[in-house]
A and B are shown apart, each in its own frame.
Chain A
Amino acid sequence: MTTSTDTPMVELKGVKKHFGDLEVLKGIDLRVDRGRIISIIGPSGSGKSTLLRSINHLEVIDGGNILLDGMPVNRPDLKGLAFERHINHIRQNMGMVFQHFNLFPHMSTLDNVTLAPRRLKRMQSTDARKLGMELLERVGLADKAKAYPSSLSGGQKQRVAIARALAMQPKVMLFDEATSALDPELVEEVNRVMKGLAEEHMTMLIVTHEMAFARDVSDWTMFMDEGVVVEANTPDRLFSDPDHERTRHFLRKHLGSQG
Protein backbone atom coordinates (compact mmCIF):
# COMPACT_ATOMS: atom_id res chain seq x y z
CA MET A 1 0.00 0.00 0.00
CA THR A 2 1.25 3.45 -0.86
CA THR A 3 1.79 5.81 2.01
CA SER A 4 4.00 8.45 0.49
CA THR A 5 2.64 11.84 1.48
CA ASP A 6 2.47 13.20 -2.03
CA THR A 7 0.20 10.44 -3.29
CA PRO A 8 -3.26 11.95 -3.43
CA MET A 9 -5.66 10.37 -0.97
CA VAL A 10 -8.34 10.22 -3.62
CA GLU A 11 -7.81 10.69 -7.30
CA LEU A 12 -10.35 10.59 -10.10
CA LYS A 13 -9.28 10.53 -13.71
CA GLY A 14 -11.84 10.91 -16.46
CA VAL A 15 -14.59 9.16 -14.49
CA LYS A 16 -17.64 8.35 -16.59
CA LYS A 17 -20.97 6.87 -15.64
CA HIS A 18 -24.26 6.52 -17.43
CA PHE A 19 -27.63 5.09 -16.53
CA GLY A 20 -29.15 3.85 -19.78
CA ASP A 21 -29.10 6.79 -22.17
CA LEU A 22 -28.45 9.29 -19.42
CA GLU A 23 -24.84 10.34 -19.04
CA VAL A 24 -24.53 11.24 -15.40
CA LEU A 25 -20.76 11.69 -15.10
CA LYS A 26 -19.02 12.92 -18.23
CA GLY A 27 -15.37 12.56 -17.40
CA ILE A 28 -14.65 13.86 -13.90
CA ASP A 29 -11.13 14.66 -12.75
CA LEU A 30 -10.39 15.34 -9.13
CA ARG A 31 -7.39 15.21 -6.85
CA VAL A 32 -7.83 15.23 -3.11
CA ASP A 33 -4.66 15.50 -1.08
CA ARG A 34 -4.25 14.10 2.40
CA GLY A 35 -6.12 16.13 5.00
CA ARG A 36 -8.00 18.17 2.44
CA ILE A 37 -11.68 18.94 2.58
CA ILE A 38 -13.53 19.18 -0.69
CA SER A 39 -17.10 20.31 -0.92
CA ILE A 40 -19.19 19.41 -3.92
CA ILE A 41 -22.16 21.56 -4.80
CA GLY A 42 -24.52 21.67 -7.73
CA PRO A 43 -28.16 21.44 -8.75
CA SER A 44 -30.28 18.37 -8.16
CA GLY A 45 -29.51 15.63 -10.63
CA SER A 46 -26.08 16.98 -11.50
CA GLY A 47 -24.40 13.72 -10.47
CA LYS A 48 -23.02 14.56 -7.01
CA SER A 49 -24.33 11.45 -5.29
CA THR A 50 -23.35 9.27 -8.23
CA LEU A 51 -19.82 10.64 -7.99
CA LEU A 52 -19.53 9.89 -4.29
CA ARG A 53 -21.13 6.48 -4.66
CA SER A 54 -18.74 5.65 -7.49
CA ILE A 55 -15.77 6.35 -5.25
CA ASN A 56 -17.20 3.77 -2.82
CA HIS A 57 -18.04 1.45 -5.71
CA LEU A 58 -21.73 1.51 -4.84
CA GLU A 59 -22.00 2.56 -8.47
CA VAL A 60 -19.77 0.89 -11.02
CA ILE A 61 -18.18 3.40 -13.36
CA ASP A 62 -18.03 2.90 -17.12
CA GLY A 63 -14.79 4.70 -17.77
CA GLY A 64 -11.83 6.38 -16.13
CA ASN A 65 -10.03 5.56 -12.92
CA ILE A 66 -10.54 6.07 -9.23
CA LEU A 67 -7.60 5.69 -6.86
CA LEU A 68 -7.70 5.59 -3.11
CA ASP A 69 -4.28 6.41 -1.71
CA GLY A 70 -2.79 5.06 -4.90
CA MET A 71 -4.89 1.87 -4.94
CA PRO A 72 -7.29 1.46 -7.86
CA VAL A 73 -10.90 1.07 -6.71
CA ASN A 74 -12.07 -0.54 -9.92
CA ARG A 75 -10.31 -3.75 -10.78
CA PRO A 76 -11.91 -5.25 -13.89
CA ASP A 77 -9.11 -7.84 -13.86
CA LEU A 78 -10.43 -9.33 -10.60
CA LYS A 79 -13.47 -11.58 -10.67
CA GLY A 80 -15.81 -13.06 -8.13
CA LEU A 81 -14.43 -13.57 -4.65
CA ALA A 82 -11.10 -11.98 -5.48
CA PHE A 83 -12.90 -8.77 -6.36
CA GLU A 84 -15.10 -9.02 -3.25
CA ARG A 85 -12.00 -9.23 -1.09
CA HIS A 86 -10.45 -6.29 -2.91
CA ILE A 87 -13.49 -4.04 -2.69
CA ASN A 88 -14.13 -4.89 0.96
CA HIS A 89 -10.58 -3.85 1.71
CA ILE A 90 -10.99 -0.60 -0.21
CA ARG A 91 -14.27 0.16 1.52
CA GLN A 92 -12.78 -0.47 4.94
CA ASN A 93 -10.57 2.50 4.23
CA MET A 94 -13.46 4.82 3.42
CA GLY A 95 -16.20 6.03 5.68
CA MET A 96 -19.50 6.79 4.04
CA VAL A 97 -22.26 8.87 5.58
CA PHE A 98 -25.70 8.77 3.96
CA GLN A 99 -28.49 11.29 3.80
CA HIS A 100 -30.87 8.88 5.53
CA PHE A 101 -28.35 7.66 8.15
CA ASN A 102 -29.00 3.95 7.49
CA LEU A 103 -28.22 2.98 11.06
CA PHE A 104 -28.81 -0.67 11.84
CA PRO A 105 -32.09 -0.59 13.78
CA HIS A 106 -31.64 -3.99 15.41
CA MET A 107 -28.48 -2.96 17.25
CA SER A 108 -27.70 -0.53 20.04
CA THR A 109 -25.78 2.57 18.98
CA LEU A 110 -22.62 1.12 20.52
CA ASP A 111 -23.04 -2.08 18.51
CA ASN A 112 -23.67 -0.05 15.38
CA VAL A 113 -20.31 1.62 15.92
CA THR A 114 -18.36 -1.48 16.92
CA LEU A 115 -19.80 -4.00 14.48
CA ALA A 116 -17.22 -3.41 11.76
CA PRO A 117 -14.10 -3.45 13.97
CA ARG A 118 -15.38 -6.50 15.84
CA ARG A 119 -16.28 -8.50 12.78
CA LEU A 120 -13.80 -7.23 10.22
CA LYS A 121 -10.74 -6.57 12.36
CA ARG A 122 -11.58 -9.24 14.92
CA MET A 123 -11.10 -6.67 17.63
CA GLN A 124 -11.63 -8.02 21.15
CA SER A 125 -14.93 -6.94 22.60
CA THR A 126 -13.35 -4.93 25.43
CA ASP A 127 -11.16 -3.04 22.95
CA ALA A 128 -14.07 -2.57 20.59
CA ARG A 129 -16.17 -1.26 23.45
CA LYS A 130 -13.47 1.20 24.41
CA LEU A 131 -13.12 2.39 20.83
CA GLY A 132 -16.89 2.61 20.44
CA MET A 133 -17.28 4.67 23.60
CA GLU A 134 -14.48 7.00 22.51
CA LEU A 135 -16.16 7.56 19.18
CA LEU A 136 -19.58 8.09 20.74
CA GLU A 137 -17.93 10.52 23.15
CA ARG A 138 -16.45 12.34 20.20
CA VAL A 139 -19.88 12.85 18.62
CA GLY A 140 -21.35 13.71 22.01
CA LEU A 141 -23.49 10.60 22.44
CA ALA A 142 -21.69 8.47 25.00
CA ASP A 143 -24.85 8.52 27.14
CA LYS A 144 -26.79 6.89 24.28
CA ALA A 145 -24.52 3.86 23.95
CA LYS A 146 -27.25 1.44 24.97
CA ALA A 147 -30.08 3.19 23.14
CA TYR A 148 -31.52 1.79 19.92
CA PRO A 149 -31.69 3.97 16.80
CA SER A 150 -35.48 4.16 16.94
CA SER A 151 -35.23 6.24 20.10
CA LEU A 152 -32.82 8.82 18.66
CA SER A 153 -33.49 12.11 16.91
CA GLY A 154 -32.33 12.55 13.33
CA GLY A 155 -29.34 14.60 14.40
CA GLN A 156 -28.34 11.98 16.93
CA LYS A 157 -28.74 9.22 14.37
CA GLN A 158 -26.48 11.00 11.93
CA ARG A 159 -23.86 11.55 14.60
CA VAL A 160 -23.92 7.84 15.42
CA ALA A 161 -23.62 7.11 11.69
CA ILE A 162 -20.51 9.30 11.57
CA ALA A 163 -19.05 7.49 14.58
CA ARG A 164 -19.82 4.18 12.87
CA ALA A 165 -18.05 5.30 9.70
CA LEU A 166 -15.02 6.41 11.74
CA ALA A 167 -14.71 3.11 13.57
CA MET A 168 -12.59 1.48 10.88
CA GLN A 169 -10.20 4.46 10.94
CA PRO A 170 -10.82 5.35 7.33
CA LYS A 171 -8.41 7.33 5.21
CA VAL A 172 -11.23 9.41 3.81
CA MET A 173 -14.79 10.27 4.75
CA LEU A 174 -17.53 10.68 2.17
CA PHE A 175 -20.61 12.66 3.14
CA ASP A 176 -23.65 12.65 0.88
CA GLU A 177 -25.94 15.42 2.11
CA ALA A 178 -25.51 14.40 5.70
CA THR A 179 -27.87 17.09 6.94
CA SER A 180 -30.50 17.27 4.18
CA ALA A 181 -32.96 14.97 5.92
CA LEU A 182 -32.72 16.83 9.23
CA ASP A 183 -35.00 19.39 10.78
CA PRO A 184 -33.24 22.77 10.60
CA GLU A 185 -32.59 22.92 14.33
CA LEU A 186 -30.69 19.61 14.20
CA VAL A 187 -28.35 20.56 11.36
CA GLU A 188 -25.89 22.44 13.54
CA GLU A 189 -25.03 19.51 15.85
CA VAL A 190 -24.05 17.40 12.85
CA ASN A 191 -22.12 20.24 11.22
CA ARG A 192 -20.21 20.70 14.45
CA VAL A 193 -19.08 17.07 14.40
CA MET A 194 -17.98 17.43 10.79
CA LYS A 195 -16.06 20.59 11.65
CA GLY A 196 -14.38 18.69 14.47
CA LEU A 197 -13.19 16.13 11.93
CA ALA A 198 -11.95 18.93 9.69
CA GLU A 199 -9.88 20.31 12.55
CA GLU A 200 -8.32 16.89 12.99
CA HIS A 201 -7.35 16.96 9.31
CA MET A 202 -9.55 14.11 8.19
CA THR A 203 -9.66 13.94 4.41
CA MET A 204 -13.27 14.59 3.44
CA LEU A 205 -15.50 14.84 0.42
CA ILE A 206 -18.68 16.62 1.31
CA VAL A 207 -21.71 16.82 -0.95
CA THR A 208 -23.97 19.49 0.47
CA HIS A 209 -26.78 21.89 -0.24
CA GLU A 210 -25.65 24.16 2.55
CA MET A 211 -23.56 26.83 0.94
CA ALA A 212 -22.56 28.55 4.16
CA PHE A 213 -21.25 25.31 5.61
CA ALA A 214 -19.40 24.41 2.41
CA ARG A 215 -17.74 27.80 2.40
CA ASP A 216 -16.86 27.56 6.05
CA VAL A 217 -15.48 24.05 6.25
CA SER A 218 -13.83 23.25 2.94
CA ASP A 219 -10.46 23.99 1.35
CA TRP A 220 -11.75 23.52 -2.13
CA THR A 221 -15.21 23.65 -3.67
CA MET A 222 -16.37 21.93 -6.81
CA PHE A 223 -19.44 23.11 -8.68
CA MET A 224 -21.00 20.33 -10.75
CA ASP A 225 -23.73 20.60 -13.34
CA GLU A 226 -25.03 17.98 -15.74
CA GLY A 227 -22.22 15.55 -15.08
CA VAL A 228 -19.29 17.91 -15.46
CA VAL A 229 -17.22 19.98 -13.06
CA VAL A 230 -18.11 23.46 -14.22
CA GLU A 231 -15.54 25.06 -11.96
CA ALA A 232 -13.52 24.33 -8.88
CA ASN A 233 -11.79 26.82 -6.67
CA THR A 234 -11.16 27.90 -3.13
CA PRO A 235 -14.53 28.45 -1.51
CA ASP A 236 -13.85 32.15 -0.96
CA ARG A 237 -13.19 32.65 -4.61
CA LEU A 238 -15.93 30.34 -5.89
CA PHE A 239 -18.66 31.78 -3.71
CA SER A 240 -17.72 35.43 -4.06
CA ASP A 241 -16.44 35.63 -7.60
CA PRO A 242 -17.23 32.59 -9.74
CA ASP A 243 -15.86 32.41 -13.26
CA HIS A 244 -18.90 30.89 -14.91
CA GLU A 245 -22.37 32.16 -15.47
CA ARG A 246 -23.86 28.75 -14.57
CA THR A 247 -22.17 28.90 -11.18
CA ARG A 248 -23.36 32.45 -10.62
CA HIS A 249 -26.88 31.47 -11.55
CA PHE A 250 -26.84 28.50 -9.15
CA LEU A 251 -25.37 30.53 -6.31
CA ARG A 252 -27.87 33.34 -6.79
CA LYS A 253 -30.67 30.86 -6.34
CA HIS A 254 -29.17 29.06 -3.36
CA LEU A 255 -27.54 31.87 -1.44
CA GLY A 256 -30.67 33.92 -2.02
CA SER A 257 -32.95 31.30 -0.52
CA GLN A 258 -30.72 31.04 2.55
CA GLY A 259 -30.96 34.82 3.17
Chain B
Amino acid sequence: MEFDFSPVIEYFPTLVQGVGVTLLIGLAVAVMSIVGGQIVAVISLYTRRVVSWPLRFFIWLFMTTPLLLQLYFLYFGLGELILIPAIVVGILGLGFHYMAYNADIFVATIRSVSDGQYEASRSLGFGHIRTLIYIILPQAFYRALPQLSNNMIIMVKDISVLSAIGIGELVYVSQYAISVTFRPFEFYITIAVIYYLINLMMEAGQSWIERRAAYRR
Protein backbone atom coordinates (compact mmCIF):
# COMPACT_ATOMS: atom_id res chain seq x y z
CA MET B 1 0.00 0.00 0.00
CA GLU B 2 1.30 3.41 -0.93
CA PHE B 3 0.80 6.56 1.03
CA ASP B 4 -0.13 9.73 -0.74
CA PHE B 5 -0.33 12.79 1.46
CA SER B 6 -1.17 15.27 -1.27
CA PRO B 7 -4.94 15.16 -0.46
CA VAL B 8 -4.05 15.99 3.15
CA ILE B 9 -2.13 19.01 1.96
CA GLU B 10 -4.98 19.96 -0.31
CA TYR B 11 -7.42 19.80 2.59
CA PHE B 12 -5.03 21.31 5.11
CA PRO B 13 -7.00 24.56 5.48
CA THR B 14 -10.06 22.46 6.32
CA LEU B 15 -8.08 20.54 8.93
CA VAL B 16 -6.77 23.77 10.44
CA GLN B 17 -10.34 24.95 10.67
CA GLY B 18 -11.24 21.68 12.40
CA VAL B 19 -8.39 22.15 14.87
CA GLY B 20 -9.63 25.67 15.52
CA VAL B 21 -13.12 24.41 16.30
CA THR B 22 -11.70 21.67 18.53
CA LEU B 23 -9.57 24.11 20.51
CA LEU B 24 -12.40 26.61 20.80
CA ILE B 25 -14.75 23.95 22.13
CA GLY B 26 -12.00 22.71 24.44
CA LEU B 27 -11.51 26.16 25.90
CA ALA B 28 -15.23 26.74 26.38
CA VAL B 29 -15.71 23.34 27.98
CA ALA B 30 -12.67 23.82 30.24
CA VAL B 31 -13.96 27.15 31.54
CA MET B 32 -17.50 25.87 31.95
CA SER B 33 -16.53 22.61 33.64
CA ILE B 34 -13.97 24.15 36.01
CA VAL B 35 -16.04 27.15 37.09
CA GLY B 36 -19.21 25.07 37.16
CA GLY B 37 -17.44 22.20 38.92
CA GLN B 38 -16.44 24.50 41.75
CA ILE B 39 -19.94 25.89 42.06
CA VAL B 40 -21.48 22.42 42.05
CA ALA B 41 -18.97 21.24 44.65
CA VAL B 42 -19.68 24.19 46.93
CA ILE B 43 -23.43 23.76 46.62
CA SER B 44 -23.28 20.04 47.23
CA LEU B 45 -21.08 20.54 50.30
CA TYR B 46 -22.62 23.58 51.93
CA THR B 47 -26.34 23.58 51.27
CA ARG B 48 -29.31 21.72 52.66
CA ARG B 49 -30.12 18.27 51.40
CA VAL B 50 -33.07 19.39 49.30
CA VAL B 51 -30.56 21.27 47.17
CA SER B 52 -27.45 19.14 47.46
CA TRP B 53 -28.99 15.71 46.94
CA PRO B 54 -30.54 16.36 43.53
CA LEU B 55 -27.22 17.89 42.53
CA ARG B 56 -25.31 14.84 43.69
CA PHE B 57 -27.74 12.70 41.79
CA PHE B 58 -26.95 14.62 38.61
CA ILE B 59 -23.23 14.29 39.20
CA TRP B 60 -23.72 10.59 39.65
CA LEU B 61 -25.86 10.39 36.52
CA PHE B 62 -23.28 12.16 34.37
CA MET B 63 -20.49 10.01 35.73
CA THR B 64 -22.22 6.68 35.22
CA THR B 65 -23.65 7.06 31.70
CA PRO B 66 -21.77 7.28 28.39
CA LEU B 67 -20.93 10.69 27.05
CA LEU B 68 -22.37 9.83 23.65
CA LEU B 69 -25.71 8.96 25.20
CA GLN B 70 -25.73 12.25 27.10
CA LEU B 71 -25.02 14.10 23.89
CA TYR B 72 -27.82 12.37 21.97
CA PHE B 73 -30.10 13.06 24.86
CA LEU B 74 -29.31 16.75 24.83
CA TYR B 75 -29.20 17.02 21.04
CA PHE B 76 -32.42 15.21 20.24
CA GLY B 77 -34.18 15.95 23.51
CA LEU B 78 -33.33 19.61 23.89
CA GLY B 79 -33.37 20.07 20.12
CA GLU B 80 -37.02 19.06 20.10
CA LEU B 81 -37.91 21.77 22.57
CA ILE B 82 -35.84 24.72 21.47
CA LEU B 83 -33.75 25.56 18.48
CA ILE B 84 -30.11 25.65 19.53
CA PRO B 85 -27.01 25.26 17.36
CA ALA B 86 -25.31 21.87 17.54
CA ILE B 87 -22.09 23.46 18.76
CA VAL B 88 -23.89 24.87 21.81
CA VAL B 89 -25.36 21.45 22.52
CA GLY B 90 -21.89 19.98 22.18
CA ILE B 91 -20.30 22.47 24.55
CA LEU B 92 -23.12 22.06 27.08
CA GLY B 93 -22.99 18.28 26.86
CA LEU B 94 -19.24 18.00 27.28
CA GLY B 95 -19.36 20.84 29.79
CA PHE B 96 -21.86 19.10 32.05
CA HIS B 97 -20.08 15.79 31.69
CA TYR B 98 -16.72 17.20 32.81
CA MET B 99 -18.36 19.52 35.30
CA ALA B 100 -19.48 16.38 37.11
CA TYR B 101 -15.96 14.94 37.09
CA ASN B 102 -14.40 18.23 38.17
CA ALA B 103 -16.99 18.75 40.91
CA ASP B 104 -16.05 15.34 42.26
CA ILE B 105 -12.41 16.44 42.49
CA PHE B 106 -13.29 19.78 44.09
CA VAL B 107 -15.47 18.11 46.71
CA ALA B 108 -12.47 16.04 47.76
CA THR B 109 -9.95 18.88 47.74
CA ILE B 110 -12.27 21.31 49.55
CA ARG B 111 -12.70 18.69 52.25
CA SER B 112 -8.93 18.24 52.43
CA VAL B 113 -8.30 21.86 53.47
CA SER B 114 -7.77 21.69 57.22
CA ASP B 115 -10.16 23.09 59.81
CA GLY B 116 -7.26 25.21 61.01
CA GLN B 117 -7.39 27.22 57.79
CA TYR B 118 -11.08 27.87 58.30
CA GLU B 119 -10.56 28.84 61.92
CA ALA B 120 -7.63 31.11 61.16
CA SER B 121 -9.73 32.99 58.64
CA ARG B 122 -12.75 33.20 60.91
CA SER B 123 -10.57 34.40 63.79
CA LEU B 124 -9.41 37.31 61.63
CA GLY B 125 -13.04 38.31 61.28
CA PHE B 126 -13.94 36.87 57.89
CA GLY B 127 -17.41 35.42 57.51
CA HIS B 128 -18.18 31.97 56.20
CA ILE B 129 -18.57 33.00 52.57
CA ARG B 130 -15.50 35.19 52.42
CA THR B 131 -13.53 32.42 54.07
CA LEU B 132 -14.64 30.13 51.29
CA ILE B 133 -13.74 32.63 48.60
CA TYR B 134 -10.39 33.86 49.90
CA ILE B 135 -9.08 30.84 51.77
CA ILE B 136 -10.75 27.51 51.12
CA LEU B 137 -11.50 27.57 47.38
CA PRO B 138 -8.12 28.86 46.21
CA GLN B 139 -6.36 26.16 48.21
CA ALA B 140 -8.78 23.52 46.99
CA PHE B 141 -8.11 24.74 43.45
CA TYR B 142 -4.33 24.43 43.75
CA ARG B 143 -4.74 20.96 45.18
CA ALA B 144 -7.11 20.00 42.38
CA LEU B 145 -4.79 21.11 39.59
CA PRO B 146 -3.05 17.81 38.80
CA GLN B 147 -6.30 15.86 38.46
CA LEU B 148 -8.03 18.79 36.86
CA SER B 149 -5.50 19.08 34.09
CA ASN B 150 -5.61 15.31 33.57
CA ASN B 151 -9.35 15.60 33.09
CA MET B 152 -8.89 18.41 30.61
CA ILE B 153 -6.40 16.37 28.60
CA ILE B 154 -8.91 13.53 28.39
CA MET B 155 -11.67 16.00 27.58
CA VAL B 156 -9.88 17.34 24.51
CA LYS B 157 -9.81 13.83 23.07
CA ASP B 158 -13.51 13.43 23.84
CA ILE B 159 -14.30 16.43 21.67
CA SER B 160 -14.08 14.02 18.72
CA VAL B 161 -17.29 12.41 20.00
CA LEU B 162 -19.07 15.61 18.98
CA SER B 163 -18.64 14.56 15.33
CA ALA B 164 -21.60 12.26 16.05
CA ILE B 165 -23.91 15.27 16.21
CA GLY B 166 -22.36 16.95 13.19
CA ILE B 167 -20.04 19.48 14.76
CA GLY B 168 -17.20 20.49 12.45
CA GLU B 169 -14.35 19.67 14.76
CA LEU B 170 -11.17 17.96 13.64
CA VAL B 171 -12.44 14.39 13.23
CA TYR B 172 -15.65 15.49 11.55
CA VAL B 173 -13.95 17.63 8.92
CA SER B 174 -11.45 14.91 8.13
CA GLN B 175 -14.27 12.42 7.70
CA TYR B 176 -15.67 14.74 5.13
CA ALA B 177 -12.28 15.06 3.43
CA ILE B 178 -11.91 11.27 3.44
CA SER B 179 -15.30 10.80 1.85
CA VAL B 180 -14.16 12.97 -1.01
CA THR B 181 -10.55 11.84 -1.39
CA PHE B 182 -10.76 8.15 -0.31
CA ARG B 183 -7.45 8.44 1.61
CA PRO B 184 -8.52 7.45 5.16
CA PHE B 185 -5.11 6.36 6.48
CA GLU B 186 -3.30 9.51 5.51
CA PHE B 187 -5.93 11.59 7.24
CA TYR B 188 -6.12 9.40 10.32
CA ILE B 189 -2.35 9.52 10.69
CA THR B 190 -2.40 13.29 10.33
CA ILE B 191 -5.15 13.65 12.93
CA ALA B 192 -3.28 11.39 15.31
CA VAL B 193 -0.17 13.55 14.93
CA ILE B 194 -2.21 16.71 15.50
CA TYR B 195 -3.76 15.25 18.65
CA TYR B 196 -0.34 14.16 19.81
CA LEU B 197 0.93 17.73 19.39
CA ILE B 198 -2.06 19.18 21.24
CA ASN B 199 -1.41 16.70 24.03
CA LEU B 200 2.24 17.66 24.14
CA MET B 201 1.31 21.31 24.50
CA MET B 202 -1.20 20.56 27.23
CA GLU B 203 1.30 18.49 29.15
CA ALA B 204 3.81 21.31 28.95
CA GLY B 205 1.13 23.65 30.25
CA GLN B 206 0.32 21.17 32.98
CA SER B 207 3.86 21.00 34.27
CA TRP B 208 4.20 24.78 34.09
CA ILE B 209 1.06 25.18 36.19
CA GLU B 210 2.20 22.41 38.49
CA ARG B 211 5.52 24.15 39.16
CA ARG B 212 3.74 27.38 40.03
CA ALA B 213 1.19 25.64 42.20
CA ALA B 214 3.62 23.45 44.14
CA TYR B 215 4.93 26.10 46.50
CA ARG B 216 1.46 27.46 47.15
CA ARG B 217 0.20 24.26 48.69
Spell out A's residues near B (CB within 8 Å): 56, 58, 84, 88-89, 91-92, 94-96, 98, 100, 102-107, 115-116, 119-120, 148, 150-151, 161, 164-165, 168
Q: Is B194 an interface residue (CB 8 A)?
A: no
Q: Interface of chain B, helix or strand or loop or mixed?
A: helix
Q: Shortest beta-carbon distance, B18 to chain A, in Å?
A: 39
CB pair A84 B127 closer than 8 Å: yes
Which A residue's beta carbon lies closest to that of B130? Answer: A119
Residues on the A chain within 8 Å of B125, using CB = 88-89, 91-92, 116, 120, 168
| A-B pairs with beta carbons under 8 A, tally | 67
User: B73 at the A/B interface (Cβ < 8 Å)?
Assistant: no
> Would you call B123 and A106 a contact (CB within 8 A)?
no
Among A105, A107, A115: residue with most chain B CB under 10 A: A105
Q: Does B119 lie at the interface of the complex (its beta carbon under 8 Å from any beta carbon of A)?
A: yes
Asked if B111 CB lies within 8 Å of chain A CBs, one says: no
**B134 contacts partner chain A, Cβ-Cβ < 8 Å:** yes
> Is B109 interfacial (CB 8 A cutoff)?
no
Q: Are B217 and A105 in contact (CB under 8 A)?
A: yes
Which residues does chain A contribute within 8 Å of B130, judged by CB atoms? 119
Bound Cα distance from A14 to B139, whole angstroms = 39
Taking A100-B116, A119-B130 as contacts, is the C-beta distance between A106 and B122 under 8 angstroms? no
B residues bordering A, Cβ < 8 Å? 114, 116-117, 119-128, 130, 134-135, 138-139, 142, 215-217
Q: Are A151 and B123 in contact (CB under 8 A)?
A: no
| B138 (CB) vs chain A CBs: closest residue | A106
Could you say which of B114, B116, B119, B142 contacts A106, with CB atoms under 8 Å apart? Answer: B142
A115-B134, A150-B215, A150-B217 known; A98+B120 contact, CB < 8 A? yes
A120 pairs with B215, CB closer than 8 A: no
Residue of B nearest to A104 (CB): B135
Q: With a CB–CB cut-off of 8 A, which chain A residues contact B114?
A: 102
Q: What are some 20 contacts across the A-B interface (CB < 8 A)?
A: A58-B123, A88-B127, A92-B124, A92-B125, A95-B123, A96-B120, A98-B120, A100-B116, A102-B120, A104-B117, A105-B139, A105-B217, A106-B138, A115-B124, A116-B124, A119-B130, A120-B124, A120-B126, A161-B120, A168-B125
Residues of B within 8 A of A161 (CB): 120
- The CA of A107 and the CA of B215, in the complex, are separated in Å by 10
Q: Which residues of B contact A103 (CB under 8 A)?
A: 120
Tell which of B116, B126, B215, B217 touches A119, judged by Cβ atoms closer than 8 Å: B126
Q: In the bound complex, what is the Cα–Cα distance between A168 and B122 (angstroms)?
A: 13
B123 pairs with A56, CB closer than 8 A: yes
Q: Would A102 and B215 count as touching, CB distance under 8 A?
A: no
Report the minimum CB–CB distance from A89 to chain B (whole Å).
7
Q: Are A58 and B120 touching (Cβ within 8 A)?
A: no
